[in-house]
Chains A and B, each alone.
Chain A
Amino acid sequence: MRSHVLTLGLGAATLVAGCIPVQIQAPDQPIEINLNVNIRQEVIVRLERDAQELLEQNADIF
Chain B
Amino acid sequence: MKRSIFLFAAFAAFAAAFAIPVMAQQADTVVSQARAAGLVGEQADGFLGFVPGASISADLRGRVDQINIRRRGVYTSRAAERNVTVNEMAAAVACEIFTGRIAVGERYRNEAGQWRQRTASQAVEVPSFCGS
Contact = CB atoms under 8 A, between A and B. Distances in A.
Nearest to A49: B92
Q: Interface residue tally of chain B, by bracket?
A: 20 to 34
A54 B67 CA distance: 14
Interface residues of A, number: 19
Contacts of A48: 92, 95-96
Contacts of B8: none
A40 B92 CA distance: 10
Contact of A40 (B67, B74, B91): B91
Contacts, number: 67
B96 A51 contact: yes
Contact of A47 (B67, B74, B84, B128): B84
Nearest to A59: B25
The binding surface of chain B is classed by DSSP as: helix
B95 A44 contact: yes
A43 interface: yes
Interface string A20-61: 000000000000000001001101111110111011001111
B40 to A, nearest CB: 13
Interface of B: 24-28, 67, 70-71, 74-75, 78, 82, 84, 88-89, 91-93, 95-97, 101, 128-131
